[in-house]
Structure 1
Amino acid sequence: MASPAAAASSHLHLLLIALLFLPFAAAAAPHRHRVPSRHLASLNASAPPTTFFEVDRPIRPPLGSVGPCSALLLSHSFGETYGRPPVTAAYAPPECLAAARARGASLALAVLEWTADCRGRQFDRIFGVWLSGAEILRSCTAEPRATGIVWSVSRDVTRYAALLAEPGEVAVYLGNLVDKTYTGVYHVNLTLHLYFRPAPPPLTQHADLIVPISRSLPLNDGQWFAVQNATDVQSKSLSIPSNTYRAVLEVFVSFHSSDEFWYTNPPNEYIEANNLSSVPGNGAFREVIVKVDDHVVGAVWPFTVIYTGGVNPLLWRPITGIGSFNLPTYDIDITPFLGKLLDGKEHDFGFAVTNALDVWYIDANLHLWLDHKSKKTVGSLIGYDAPALALNLDSGFSGLDGKFVTGASRHVSATGSVKSSYGEVTTTFYQRFSYVNSNVYTNNGTVQVVNQTIDAKSGVFVKDTSAVLLSEEVHKVFPLYVYTGTSDQVGDEYSLISLVKLGINEKSVLGGKLGFSYRSLRNAQSARGTMKVKKNLVVSGLGKTHQVYKYVGTDGCYFRDVSSKNYTIISDNSGDSCSKGSPSSGVKFSSNKNQPARKRLLKL
Structure 2
Amino acid sequence: MNSLLHSSSSPLLPLLFLFILLTLSHPTTLSSSSLPDHFINAVPSPFRHDFYTEYFEIAPPLPTQSLIPSHTLPLLKYDFKNTTGFPVTVPYWPPIECLSPWLSVVLQFRGAVKGVQDDRIVGIWLEGVELLRTSTAQPTETGVYWKVEKDVTKYNSLLTRSNLTLTVMLENTVNQFFTGFIHVEVSMLFYGLWSSTNPAQGATGGDSKFNRKLMNFVDEDVKLELVKGEDKGVVSDGVEKEKKKPEEFLSKQRNGKLESGSKLEIFYDRPADLIIPISDDGGMGCWFKIVNESNVHSKEIQVPQNTYKAVIEIYVSAHGDDEFWYSNPPTSYFELNNLTSKRGNGAFRQVFVTIDDLFVGSAHPFPVIYSGGINPLLWEPIVGIGAFDLPTYDLELTPFLGFLLDGSTHFIRLGVTDANSYWLVNANLHLWLDPFLPTVTAGSIRYRAPDLRVKREAEFKLLDGKCEVEAERKTQFSGWVSYSAGNYTTQVEYEFEFENSIEFRNQGQNTEVEQNIKTRTEVQTEDRNKHHSRTTSRIKTRYPLRIRISTTPGLAFQTFLSITNVSNGIESRSSVSQPHKRMSSTLSNSQVSGGWIVSRDHIVLSGTGNTHQNLRYRDENRCYSQIVVGDTGLILENVVIPFCATNSY
Q: After TM superposition, is the score higher than 0.5?
A: yes
Q: Distance in 2 between matches of 1:190 and 1:125?
A: 16
1:414-425 paired onto structure 2 within 5 Å: 414-425=477-488
Task: Could you tell me which runs of 5 or more consecutive residues in structure 1 were left unpaired when the two chains were aligned.
Answer: 1-5, 22-31, 584-604
Length-normalised TM-score, structure 1: 0.88
Q: Tell me what 1:14 maps to.
A: 32
Partner SS for 1:14: coil
Q: Tell me what 1:533 maps to.
A: 599
- Give the Å deviation of 1:140: 0.5
- Over the residues paired in the alignment, what is the CA RMSD in angstroms? 2.1
- Give the Å deviation of 1:576: 1.2
- Give the Å deviation of 1:108: 0.8
After superposition, the C-alpha distances for 1:357-396 in whole angstroms (9 at most, x for unaligned) are 0011111111110001000011001101111110011211
Distance 1:93 1:40, change over 3 A: same
Q: Which consecutive segments of 4 or more residues in structure 1 shift more than 4 A?
A: 8-13, 15-18, 40-44, 488-491
Which of the numbers 404, 407, 413 marks the counterpart of 1:344? 407
Deviates more, 1:277-286 or 1:256-265: 277-286
Q: Tell me what 1:181 maps to.
A: 177
Which of the numbers 528, 550, 563 marks the counterpart of 1:485? 550
Distance 1:435 1:17, change over 3 A: closer
- Give the Å deviation of 1:538: 2.4
Query: Is the aligned partner of 1:141 residue 2:136?
Result: yes
Query: Is the aligned partner of 1:363 residue 2:358?
Result: no
1:555-570 paired onto structure 2 within 5 Å: 555-570=621-636
Whichever residue aligns with residue 561 of structure 2, its letter is S
- Give the Å deviation of 1:297: 1.0
Note if contact 1:15-1:278 (Cα within 8 Å) is conserved in structure 2. no
Note if contact 2:35-2:327 (Cα within 8 Å) is conserved in structure 1. no
Q: Tell me what 2:105 maps to.
A: 110
Q: Distance in 1 between matches of 2:601 and 2:132?
A: 37
After superposition, the C-alpha distances for 1:163-194 in whole angstroms (9 at most, x for unaligned) are 10001111000000000110111111101011
Q: Distance in 2 between matches of 1:262 and 1:407?
A: 15
Q: Tell me what 2:187 maps to.
A: 191
Whichever residue aligns with residue 415 of structure 1, its letter is S
Q: Distance in 2 between matches of 1:456 and 1:536?
A: 35
Q: Tell me what 1:596 maps to.
A: none
Note if contact 2:31-2:463 (Cα within 8 Å) is conserved in structure 1. no
Q: Distance in 2 between matches of 1:154 and 1:225?
A: 24
Q: Tell me what 2:56 maps to.
A: 53
Q: Distance in 2 between matches of 1:569 and 1:245?
A: 50
Question: With CA pairs under 8 Å and 6+ residues apart, which has the higher RCO, 1 or 2?
Answer: 2
Deviates more, 1:497-506 or 1:53-62: 53-62
1:98-497 paired onto structure 2 within 5 Å: 98=99, 101=100, 106-167=101-162, 168-198=164-194, 199=226, 200=231, 202-203=249-250, 205-217=270-282, 219=283, 221-464=284-527, 465-466=529-530, 467-487=532-552, 489=554, 492-497=558-563
Length-normalised TM-score, structure 2: 0.82
- Give the Å deviation of 1:40: 4.4
Q: Distance in 2 between matches of 1:54 and 1:474?
A: 23
Query: Is the aligned partner of 1:507 residue 2:591?
Result: no
Q: Distance in 1 between matches of 2:171 and 2:476?
A: 39
Whichever residue aligns with residue 389 of structure 1, its letter is L
After superposition, the C-alpha distances for 1:272-319 in whole angstroms (9 at most, x for unaligned) are 110112251000111111111122111011100001111111110000
- Give the Å deviation of 1:49: 1.1
1:516-531 paired onto structure 2 within 5 Å: 516-531=582-597
Query: Is the aligned partner of 1:93 residue 2:94?
Result: yes
Partner SS for 1:258: helix
Q: Distance in 2 between matches of 1:66 and 1:374?
A: 40
State percent identity of aligned pairs.
37
Q: Radius of gyration: which is bigger?
A: 2
Q: Distance in 2 between matches of 1:269 and 1:121?
A: 37
Q: Distance in 2 between matches of 1:56 and 1:383?
A: 38
Q: Distance in 2 between matches of 1:43 and 1:521?
A: 34
Distance 1:123 1:514, change over 3 A: farther
- Give the Å deviation of 1:533: 2.3
Note if contact 1:66-1:196 (Cα within 8 Å) is conserved in structure 2. no
- How many pairs were matched up? 552
Whichever residue aligns with residue 78 of structure 2, its letter is H
- Give the Å deviation of 1:13: 4.9
Q: Tell me what 1:590 maps to.
A: none
- Give the Å deviation of 1:48: 3.4
Q: Distance in 2 between matches of 1:534 and 1:96?
A: 54
Distance 1:489 1:166, change over 3 A: same
Q: Distance in 1 between matches of 2:68 and 2:615?
A: 29
- Give the Å deviation of 1:61: 2.8
- Give the Å deviation of 1:439: 0.4
Q: Distance in 1 between matches of 2:122 and 2:153?
A: 21
Partner SS for 1:96: coil
Q: Tell me what 1:69 maps to.
A: 71
Q: Distance in 2 between matches of 1:410 and 1:10?
A: 42
